[in-house]
Amino acid sequence: MATHRTKMLIIGSGPAGYSAAIYGARAMMEPIVVQGLQPGGQLTITTDVENYPGFRDVVQGPWLMEEMKAQAEHVGTRMMWDTIVEVDLENGSPFRAVGDSGDEYIGDVLVIATGAQAKWLGVPGEQELGGKGVSACATCDGFFYRGKKVAVIGGGNTAVEEALYLTNHSDDVTLIHRRDELRAEKILQDRLLNHPKISVLWNKTVESFEAGDNGALSHVRLRDTQTGEDSDFGCDGAFVAIGHAPSTELFKGKLPMDDSGYLLVEAGTPKTSIPGVFAAGDVMDHTYRQAVTAAGTGCMAALDAERFLATLEVAEREAAE
């Protein structure tokens, strides 16, 4: 069991965590990144990424995250293979965290970049066909289905927004919902139900995603919730849009969150309610949820962390005089 002391402790190794680390290391904060169970974050489970600036051609998600990690290490970040299981924020800076390994981490500032996970249906074919027709992000993958037939599964705001977004790329969008009415806000429902490119299949649950001879999605197997009848719905892309879950279990009762568990920050900043604790990326952003926005807020967290440390140092000097 070891204790690791740093000026800047970062929990999470997605675009937000790595970007915070790159800025933090260059500002001599000697960051430690505790990577968690998914080193590299959500982009490691996707294939093509076409919207991260700086690359003319499509890049692969896992490759992009390896590059970000290498950049963070190159400028002086220490990476830890550990998962934080406990945090102590009550007494202010320095903040203490404990890893699954039993190691203790102490940071003068803490950046929380634990991200979020898309909720999945958990039916056969869903994970196998991820990146081959099944996705959980229309903004990320909609472009790959230009002119093709797509389905969106869900009935809340996320699903309706995803379906509306997909009409930018496809003339044939079908929303599949297990009930006979939507949960989405009325204004979104109206836009969806009146959209000429969108149809709705009511009272259908998805039983499985099925591949064609080319190994990509060919159809979705559906079951009618009223008649029990099975049917196949042929499509090129299927977007599971049943919501996201932020990884904030650790912070329950310790930091303010919204009803869905996203960390609350001061508007336009990554500052949480505790001075010196910052939140960056999907863990505090249920609206944009993109790699570039996560990286952007990671950068903001590091810049604000630097300012916080400077204030702390002045206060300590004054107290010593």
Ligand X SMILES: Cc1cc2nc3c(=O)[nH]c(=O)nc-3n(C[C@H](O)[C@H](O)[C@H](O)COP(=O)(O)OP(=O)(O)OC[C@H]3O[C@@H](n4cnc5c(N)ncnc54)[C@H](O)[C@@H]3O)c2cc1C
Residues that bind ligand X (CB under 6 A): 11-17, 34-39, 41-43, 45-46, 49, 51-52, 83-84, 113-116, 118, 135-137, 140, 247, 250, 281-283, 289-292, 294
Catalytic residue check, 235: no
End-to-end, the C-alpha distance of the chain in Å comes to 36
- Of the residues 82, 108, 140, 285, only one is catalytic, namely 140
Closer CB to ligand X, 126 or 282, in the complex = 282
User: Nearest distance from residue 254's CB to ligand X, in Å?
Assistant: 13
Helices (H) and strands (E) in the chain, counts: 6, 19
Nearer to ligand X, 41 or 270 (CB): 41
HSE, side-chain direction, 13 A CA sphere, residue 223: 7
Q: Is 48 exposed, middle or buried (0-12, 13-18, 19+ CB in 10 A)?
A: middle
3-class DSSP assignment, residue 9: strand
Beta bridge partners of 119: none
Please confirm, yes or no, whether 137 is among the known catalytic residues.
Answer: yes
- Shortest distance in whole angstroms from residue 248 CB to ligand X: 9
For the question of residue 140 being annotated catalytic, the response is yes
> What DSSP character marks residue 72?
H
13-29: string of b/e by CB count within 10 Å (b at 16+)?
A: bbbbbbbbbbbbbebeb
Our CB check for ligand X shows the closer of 111 and 182 to be 111
82, 141, 236, 304: the active-site residue:
141
Q: Which of these is catalytic: 48, 103, 137, 224?
A: 137
Q: How far apart are CA 201 and CA 176, in angstroms?
A: 5
CB-wise, 135 or 158, nearer to ligand X? 135
Query: What amino acid positions are annotated as catalytic residues?
Result: 137, 140-141
